[in-house]
A = this chain, B = another copy of it.
Amino acid sequence: MEPVFPFALELPTRGQGRRTQALHRQLREAILDGRYPAGAPLPATRQVAAALGVARNTVVTAYDLLMAEGYVLPRRGATAVVADLAARRPARGTPRAPGRDATRISPSWRTAPFLGPSAPADLPPRSFRVGVPEHRHFPHDTWRRLSARSLRAWAKAPFTYPPTEGLPELREAIAQHVAFSRAVVCTRDDVIVTSGAQQAFDLLARLLVTPGETRVAVEEPGYPRLRAAFAAAGARQVPVPVDDEGLRVDRLPGDVRVVSVTPSHQSPTGVALSLSRRRALLDFARARDAVVIEDDYDGEFRFAARPLDALQTLDRDARVFYVGTFSKSLFPGVRIGFVIAPRWARDALLAIKQCSDAHCDAVAQATLAAFIRDGHLARHVRRMRPIYAERRTALLAGLRRHLADWLEPIPSEAGLHLAARVLQPEHAATLFATARHYAPGVQSITEYSLTPPEQPALSFGYGVMEAEEITSALRRWGGALARR
């Protein structure tokens, strides 16, 4: 067998679906770790099929998946080429330190961590991109006025270094906000202000992981950048599957010391962790002396009749770290998140924050404190909830009306995105390939998975597209699929 790729492949001897998955996964891995370099042309599908002894359609489908995910670029009238991931996603390429230079880099960082999906450069501003909120209804004038007010107050006092844990007025405002909106039990002394939720994950990983030892349960599929932070800290990660009730708590190995979970709105499937699972998770933590990281990244936007309590609210045993962020409820550029930490962990967390970056931007903190205290955050969330609800309804209706033969929505009652299962796995490649044109920004949940999922699914963000835009995009997509 003549080698058609610059690395070895191992495919199962039978099963077209399994061969497609294996080929897709192995090519993706080779692209990610740099064995298959940017710009390299992909051999013709006919040639690969012959060399590997598989059906040509197996190769075509694997190529389509790679194109849909952006790992491979189609070239009009010529062969496809491996995409330059490093150029498009700075943190994703393998560090290209040559020879001796590479040995200066700590082994943890010699190969690029998997950071999951990021937006391609050519994504239109109005798209199904996951995790971006609407800017058109944000009270920009109010924010600007409060920012100017903070700067005027700032100008009157001598310069100081803000406290590591965050400005007292912001911690007070956050404590009241989460008590009111999420029934989280805390005072301002339990709040540590962080540079977004990502820094909270990094601080917690450094706090809780003994490198090479600590086993950490992560959701599968789950948020890649939380995993990246835990991988960097030397955690041994254990992927635990997610179903329609959220994390399969019954599948947690007994020796995990940390369980990370998105109970309000699973990332990326969107399901909520059921109340019985919440109780089971806290029971597990107590029985096994584990701690829980509750990542509540967009839980402000809930559409269900009855909200589920936060895990932190149910915790009687100082085991839950509640992580929040203002990237979704306000905007992604404001780099402010927070951890509500059990008392026993506070001093060590502050020491890590001190070593990491000492403190967060003082003016942004003061502005946000005033924004929350004066009721603007609550008002903005109240105003946005029906807007997002309308978009979500349009998305669900459009999926049911135009894509019912292809996709099945996964139940979800919160947040800014919704996922849908591909009904017939052999349709996945077609869906992914056409999504690039008809539903730009839509993500495959393989981008959140450590192993290829049993059932492919797509995740739709509805943060920045209006209801009519969503409806018409899905109508056009459904029409195009029906004509194939």
Q: Which residues of A contact B (CB under 8 A)?
A: 86, 90-98, 100-102, 104-110, 112-113, 115, 119, 125-126, 132-135, 138, 140, 143-144, 147-148, 151-152, 154-155, 157-165, 194-196, 198-199, 202, 206-211, 214, 225, 228-229, 232-233, 257, 289, 291, 318, 327, 331-335, 342, 344-348, 350-364, 464
CB <8 Å contact, A228 and B90: no
For A159, A208, A327, A344, the residue with the greatest tally of chain B CB atoms inside 10 Å of its CB is: A159
Q: Which of B106, B353, B360 contacts A210 (CB 8 A)?
A: B106
Task: Give min CB distance, A258 to chain B, whole Å.
Answer: 9
Cβ contacts under 8 Å, A107 to chain B: 210
CA gap between A212 and B400 in the complex, in Å: 57
Task: Give min CB distance, A259 to chain B, whole Å.
Answer: 13
Known: A109-B348, A113-B351, A133-B159. A198 touches B356 (CB 8 A): yes
Chain A interface, >50% SS class: loop
In the A-B complex, list the 3 residue pairs whose CB atoms are closest, starting with the nearest: A333-B362, A140-B155, A91-B354
CB <8 Å contact, A164 and B333: no
Cβ contacts under 8 Å, A94 to chain B: 347
Closest to A353 in B: B91
A-B contact pairs, 12 of them (CB 8 A): A91-B164, A91-B351, A95-B345, A104-B345, A110-B348, A125-B157, A140-B152, A147-B148, A162-B333, A196-B358, A198-B356, A199-B356
Known: A334-B361, A357-B196, A357-B199. A350 touches B106 (CB 8 A): no
CB <8 Å contact, A347 and B148: no
* Contacts beyond the supplied A86-B347, A104-B345, A195-B356: 13 A-B pairs with Cβ under 8 Å: A95-B344, A96-B347, A101-B342, A106-B209, A138-B159, A140-B155, A147-B148, A161-B327, A161-B332, A195-B358, A202-B356, A206-B232, A229-B355
Closest to A139 in B: B155
CB <8 Å contact, A152 and B144: yes
CB <8 Å contact, B160 and A348: no
Q: How many copies does the complex hold?
A: 2
Cβ contacts under 8 Å, A125 to chain B: 157-158
CA gap between A100 and B288 in the complex, in Å: 12
CB <8 Å contact, A113 and B355: yes
CB <8 Å contact, B332 and A160: yes
CB <8 Å contact, B151 and A143: yes
CA gap between A165 and B354 in the complex, in Å: 21
Closest to A144 in B: B151
CB <8 Å contact, A333 and B363: yes
CB <8 Å contact, B97 and A344: yes
CB <8 Å contact, B155 and A135: yes
CB <8 Å contact, B358 and A198: yes
CB <8 Å contact, A140 and B151: yes
CB <8 Å contact, B157 and A135: yes
CA gap between A126 and B132 in the complex, in Å: 45
CA gap between A100 and B289 in the complex, in Å: 9
For A113, A125, A363, the residue with the greatest tally of chain B CB atoms inside 10 Å of its CB is: A363
Known: A225-B358, A361-B364. A347 touches B144 (CB 8 A): no
Task: Give min CB distance, A323 to chain B, whole Å.
Answer: 13
Cβ contacts under 8 Å, A91 to chain B: 164, 347, 350-351, 353-355
CA gap between A222 and B163 in the complex, in Å: 23
Task: Give min CB distance, A337 to chain B, whole Å.
Answer: 9
Cβ contacts under 8 Å, A334 to chain B: 361-363
CB <8 Å contact, A98 and B344: yes
Task: Give min CB distance, A284 to chain B, whole Å.
Answer: 15
For A115, A195, A207, A232, the residue with the greatest tally of chain B CB atoms inside 10 Å of its CB is: A195
Cβ contacts under 8 Å, A147 to chain B: 147-148, 151, 363
Cβ contacts under 8 Å, A100 to chain B: 289
Cβ contacts under 8 Å, A331 to chain B: 159
CB <8 Å contact, B202 and A344: no
Cβ contacts under 8 Å, A228 to chain B: 354-355
Known: A158-B464, A165-B90. A335 touches B348 (CB 8 A): no
Task: Give min CB distance, A345 to chain B, whole Å.
Answer: 7
CB <8 Å contact, A159 and B144: no
Cβ contacts under 8 Å, A154 to chain B: 140, 333
CA gap between A105 and B115 in the complex, in Å: 26
Cβ contacts under 8 Å, A332 to chain B: 159-162, 362
CA gap between A352 and B357 in the complex, in Å: 13
